[in-house]
Amino acid sequence: MAHLDLDAFFAAVEELERPELRDRPLVVGGDPHGRGVVATANYVARRYGIHSAMSSAEALRRCPQAVFVSPRKSAYSTYSQDVWRAVRDVVPLVERTGMDEGYLELAAAEGNFMRARELAEAVQVAVRAATSLSCSLGVAPSKVVAKIASDRRKPGGITVVPAGKEADFLAPLPIRRLPGVGPKSAARLEARGLTTVGALAALSDPDLRALLPGKYGALLRDRARGIDPRPLELSGETVSISHEETFARDIVEQGRLAEEVGRMASAVAERLQERRWCARTVTTKVRYADFSIRSRSTTLPVGTDDPERLAQVACSLLERALADRPGALRLVGVGASGFEPYRQLGLLEDG
């Protein structure tokens, strides 16, 4: 399996939409003059020791010239959806654990770590092509090792840990790098001179029970040895149906864009009808010439699979997006979600 982690995700999105920030220390988080907290920082800001969960006031103290921006959840969510759509085109089975990270099932490459690396590289290419964002991946036989490995060569790296090498890979790492080791457990272990993952892995049963009694201690020692039987929690649920296209040339004429959106809405309606579903939420997504993304959504009082209704709503959302930010578009998409497994009567919809 593999663990994928988008590199400084929130900050990377802000840099995409405001390229002038790329060479400046950038902090996404709360008010540095209040009680705000850093959500993430770009790699320029990290050179000053700024990291997530640090107080914004401390970040400002460390780097007075840093640019602070408030998080924009809706924008990050839009980019995240594009990322995971691109990932699933390469690796269909995915367990998302957040907007910016998740596990990938690489069963097709089981036991062949060269093939697994090739798949990881293909995922990176797909994500960058779809969003211009970079990601790092760790490939390993278990979740815990894959997650740690994905952080090894950031940004944009791939780390492969073959079967049988998990304990060797983990052994020299600081104990705090092991998922599940909190501040209190780390302090207790470090007070006994156990500062590395390998030292925890080597603990005897009596010593382990004295330091970390119960199932918790056994779980951590197993993880320190690279043992983690947790499978991917895969969901077969379809959360949205969408159709999007990148144009050969950027389009600025709103009438032409409306025609394209109407055609895509019809394609979405056809797929809804094939599944005998109705959708209550309609989304129109646009990507500008500078690769920045906007999406606008609305939820209908009654679900529909009618192509004309979907086109009407999608075109209205397109107008909203272009009113907020006019400009030539390189991509347009229409999506439907909030499914109902039946067709509402037209009388109810009219009402």
Query: Active-site residues: which are they?
Result: 101
Q: Are strands 94-98 and 135-139 parallel, antiparallel or unpaired?
A: unpaired
Cα distance between residue 221 and residue 156, in whole Å:
30
Cα distance between residue 79 and residue 160, in whole Å:
27
Reference 67, options 49, 47, 51, 44; nearest CA is 44
Reference 339, options 238, 242, 261, 235; nearest CA is 238
- Specify the DSSP class assigned to residue 152: T
Name the β-bridge partners of 304: 279
State both tokens at 112.
């062949």
Residue type, 152: R
Q: If you write DSSP's letter for every residue of 162-222 in order, what string do you get?
A: -TT-HHHHHTTSBGGGSTT--HHHHHHHHHTT--BHHHHHT--HHHHHHHS-HHHHHHHHH
Cis peptide before 155 (omega within 30 of 0): yes
- C-alpha pair distances (Å), 152 with each of 5, 160, 173, 267: 11, 10, 11, 43
Name the β-bridge partners of 332: 245, 286
SS (H, E, C) 211-259: HCCHHHHHHHHHHHCCCCCCCCCCCCCCCCEEEEEEEEEEECCHHHHHH
> What is the crossing angle of helices 9-17 and 73-90, to 10°?
100
Residue type, 223: R
Q: Answer whether 149's CB lies under 8 Å from 140's CB.
A: yes
